[in-house]
Amino acid sequence: MGSQYNEFVERQGQSPVLVQKWFANRVLKCVSSSTDIPFPDMYILEVGTGLGYLAQAARTLGAASYMGLEPNEDLRRISEEAASPYYVTSGQLPAIPESLKGKYNLAILVHVLEHAKDGHEARTWLSALLKHLSPGGAVVIISPDVLDYGPYFWDTDWTHGFPTSNRNVAQVFADIDADVTFSQRMRLGRVDPFSSSLGWWFSKLFPTRLANVVGRKIFGRDVGTGLQVAALWSLTFVVGRPNQDRSAS
């Protein structure tokens, strides 16, 4: 994306910091529970660091290490400052530095895979991440669920290309001979079926349009849609690992 995504910097700056920090914290807790990797054993590679909130959560929760790759220079500078003493450098998929091979056991992509041009590019990205994992590692994909977002999937971000869902992300993993060890929708900051069902009902009952009208008058933005995106509309949450039989051969 390089310098072509600067609009995102301004847009993310309008989102409440407390909400973004809460979300990043919940993401890592869900990653730990779904991969059975405790925080002190997490060696994280995040591609697409945004404003650095996941790095801050990793520091707070006691991850062993964190490395960020961010293609946009403005975001890289912001996230590098937020992540200190962790390291963030310029980079983008599928070109992962060889120096990182075997140095991470968790590759985490939050709101990133949907920016692939299509499923073929998504396949190339995931393949590169899997090849550089340390033994026992996992790739975790967290992206908007196009089945829940509907047309807003494309309206929310002009760079969305690959319409992500649990099923098609799992299909991409399968096509590169990886095992999907966890697949669930993430709502309300959780990945259990009860929270997913509860969040679905809340999303249907919540007066989104009315909240947007009020939000525009008071805050100058669509508060209702923002709440749906932050907690109610589902995110795909898929964990893929290298095929154990193939790795052993």
> ω into residue 85 within 30 of 0, thus cis?
yes
pLDDT values of the chain reduced to their tens digit, one per residue, 249 residues: 555 566 666 655 556 788 889 999 999 999 999 999 999 999 999 999 999 999 999 999 999 999 999 998 889 999 999 898 899 999 889 999 888 899 999 999 999 999 999 999 999 999 999 999 999 999 999 999 999 998 889 988 888 999 999 999 999 999 999 999 999 999 999 999 998 899 889 888 989 889 889 988 888 878 888 788 778 889 999 999 998 765 444
**SS3 assignment, position 62:** coil
CA distance 215 to 225: 10
Give the pLDDT of residue 19: 83
Give the pLDDT of residue 146: 96
Single out the residue of 139, 179, 147, 181 nearest to residue 163, CA to CA.
147
The structure's pTM equals 0.90
Strands 43-47 and 65-70: parallel
Tokens of 138: 């996992």
Run of H or E residues at 34: helix 17-35
Give the pLDDT of residue 167: 97
Residue labelled with tokens 């309008």: 14
Give the pLDDT of residue 246: 55
Q: Where are the domains of the chain?
A: 6-189+235-243
Give the pLDDT of residue 123: 97
Give the pLDDT of residue 52: 94
* Terminal-to-terminal C-alpha distance of the chain: 37
| The CATH number, out of the four listed (3.40.50.150, 3.50.50.60, 3.40.640.10, 3.40.605.10), of the domain defined by the range 6-189+235-243 | 3.40.50.150
Give the pLDDT of residue 248: 47
Strands 43-47 and 235-242: unpaired
